[in-house]
Structure 1
Amino acid sequence: MTRVRTVLGDVRPAELGVCDAHDHLFLRSPRLPGQELDDVPAARAELAAFRAAGGAAVVQWTPYGMGRRAEELPALSRATGVRIVCATGLHQAVHYEPGLTARLRGGKLAGLFVSELTEGIGTTGVRAGLIKVAGGFHGLDAHARWTMAAAAEAHHATGAPIAVHLELGTGALDVVDLLCGELGVPGERVILGHLNRSPDPVVHRQAAASGCWLAFDGPSRAHHATDWRMPEAVRALAEAGFGDRLLLGGDTVTAGARSVDGGPGMPHLLRRVRQRLAQEVGAELVERVLTEHPGRAFGTRWT
């Protein structure tokens, strides 16, 4: 039977409720000095604000080695009543010191992913519920191919879904060719993130036709064009028959982006994005995207 693996244990997909399918409670990177998400009270306040806006579940895509604070997540989930799904995986090389990735060479990476999915993250007892990897700008470098090969191996061993950061929304078809073609991962087990950042309707349709999930996750941090084009991109996919492949998320990656610190934060998804998309595709589809789709995308017949 399909289950979503949360930090408090496996639940039926229907139990997730309204879900932010891509966000971060904790995150550290040398690319974001001084902007770390590393404050437990702030994370609790953000989850509480999301809950007050009608949210019930959050999928944290923070992978291995980026300060995901897995040990804090169960208590935060209990305190706020928000279900949390935690990730294993590896981001782009620029987010790590070279020594860390070097230690995972030699066939160790897939084993790390499998261990965190099935046994738990370190001594926390928290089991990851997805594998997060990343592509590059309009392509895949050697690091991306290495991490995706390990993710595919871990998927075949466990059934876990693979969530992919697309750099500025690009490279989706390269990811599909590698993961779903060469590496044999079923499209319905792959989530392509940040497609709102590159609103190319042809690429979107081709990616959707592969069976992959298409995630529109987070307001623009650079300019507004992708924000106002996102609803029309979602509508185009729905009209093309791919409304059942969509996910929505907030992708809060810096402290200043939290709602409790004056940014849009997690509640923005429910306060603004939900209403805006309902004008384009109808409230019924938007509610399915927020409730039914995450359970299908992250639900797994764990092996």
Structure 2
Amino acid sequence: MSTVRTVLGDIRPEELGVCDAHDHLFLSTPQLPGQELNDAASARAELAAFRGAGGSAVVQWTPYGMGRRAADLPLLSRATGVHLVCATGLHQAVHYAPELLDELRGGPADVFVSELTEGIGTSGVRAGFIKVAGGFHALDTHARWTMTAAAEAHHATGVSIAVHLELGTGALDVLDLLCGELGVPPSRVILGHVNRSPDLLVHRQAAEAGCWLAFDGPSRAHHATDWRMPDAMRALAEAGFGHRLLLGGDTVVAGARSVDGGPGMPYLLRRVRPRLALALGEELVDRILIDNPSRAFAVDWR
């Protein structure tokens, strides 16, 4: 039976509800000094605001070694009534100290599988999917290493692999590697940030391959492309790929939270949802927020 693995345990896919399919409650990286998401009280307030706007689930894409604070996630989920799905995996090398990556040289796949099936550290929280990352229009050695490990962990567990596309680029290279060389079914691959490179032809090619396309906005940093999101999603829907679309907020710094003056998670439902409804229709937007993530993150565990 397919289930979604939340931080409080496995649930039926239909229990997930309205889902922010790509966001962050906690995140720290040397690339964003002083802008860490590390305040549990703010995280709780943000989740409560999202719940108040009609949300019921958040998928946190923060992977291994980037301040996930897994032990805090069950407390936040219980306090707010929001389902939380946690990631394992690895981001780009620039987000880590070299010594941390050196510790994983012997086999990151084993770490991924352990966090998916046994738990993250001593928290008892099990991850529900794998997050990895490509580079700008390229896959470097680190990306190939992490994606190879992710594919191995997928084959051991059946989970989905979510991919950070740098500025939305490299989608077809990612699919060539994961699905072509490494044998991951396209239906188990989620391409993130596709809105940041609004190349409608690449979007169409990726959708035709059978993967998921995650439109992650809004974002102050990517305002120049976010406004094109409704047109890009409509083009995919009209081509018959509405069942492959996901929507997320991708809050990566403290100042982006609604409780700290930014748009935050509630904006996804308060402003983005009605805007997309005008372009796509209410029924399709509901599918994108409810039905699609329940299938993208559901797993027939092996």
Flag whether TM exceeds 0.5 (same fold). Answer: yes
Tell me, in whole angstroms, the C-alpha distance in 1 between the residues paired with 2:220 and 2:160.
Answer: 27
Tell me, in whole angstroms, the C-alpha distance in 2 between the residues paired with 1:2 and 1:171.
Answer: 30
Structure 1 partner of 2:15: 15
Structure 2 partner of 1:98: 98
Q: Tell me the CA shift for residue 223 of structure 1.
A: 4.8
Structure 1 partner of 2:63: 63
Amino acid at match of 1:2: S
CA deviations 1:111-130 (Å, max 9, x no partner) are 00000000000111100000
How do 1:1-303 and structure 2 match up within 5 A?
1-106=1-106, 108-303=107-302
Q: Tell me the CA shift for residue 266 of structure 1.
A: 0.3
Identity of aligned residues (%): 79
Query: Which TM-score applies when normalising by structure 2?
Result: 0.99
Amino acid at match of 2:230: P
Q: Tell me the CA shift for residue 219 of structure 1.
A: 1.6
Tell me, in whole angstroms, the C-alpha distance in 2 between the residues paired with 1:224 and 1:291.
Answer: 25
CA deviations 1:93-137 (Å, max 9, x no partner) are 00000111111012x200000000000001111000000000000
**Where in structure 2 are there 5+ consecutive unaligned residues?**
none
Q: How many residues were matched structurally?
A: 302
Tell me, in whole angstroms, the C-alpha distance in 1 between the residues paired with 2:119 and 2:89.
Answer: 13
TM-align CA RMSD: 0.7
Query: Which TM-score applies when normalising by structure 1?
Result: 0.99
CA deviations 1:223-265 (Å, max 9, x no partner) are 5331211110000000111111000000000000000001000
Amino acid at match of 2:190: I
Q: Tell me the CA shift for residue 221 of structure 1.
A: 2.9
- Are the equivalent residues in 2 in contact too, given 1:197–1:220 (CA < 8 A)? no
Q: Tell me the CA shift for residue 218 of structure 1.
A: 1.8
> Bigger CA drift: 40-49 or 221-230?
221-230
Tell me, in whole angstroms, the C-alpha distance in 1 between the residues paired with 2:130 and 2:30.
Answer: 21
Tell me, in whole angstroms, the C-alpha distance in 1 between the residues paired with 2:234 and 2:19.
Answer: 20
CA deviations 1:190-233 (Å, max 9, x no partner) are 00000010010000000001110000012233353312111100
Q: Secondary structure at the match of 1:248?
A: strand
**Where in structure 1 are there 5+ consecutive unaligned residues?**
none
Tell me, in whole angstroms, the C-alpha distance in 1 between the residues paired with 2:222 and 2:72.
Answer: 34
- Are the equivalent residues in 2 in contact too, given 1:59–1:85 (CA < 8 A)? yes
Amino acid at match of 1:157: A
Tell me, in whole angstroms, the C-alpha distance in 1 between the residues paired with 2:223 and 2:289.
Answer: 23
Tell me, in whole angstroms, the C-alpha distance in 2 between the residues paired with 1:280 and 1:41.
Answer: 36
Tell me, in whole angstroms, the C-alpha distance in 2 between the residues paired with 1:264 and 1:298.
Answer: 25
CA deviations 1:171-193 (Å, max 9, x no partner) are 00000000010000000000000
- Are the equivalent residues in 2 in contact too, given 1:220–1:226 (CA < 8 A)? no
Amino acid at match of 2:13: P
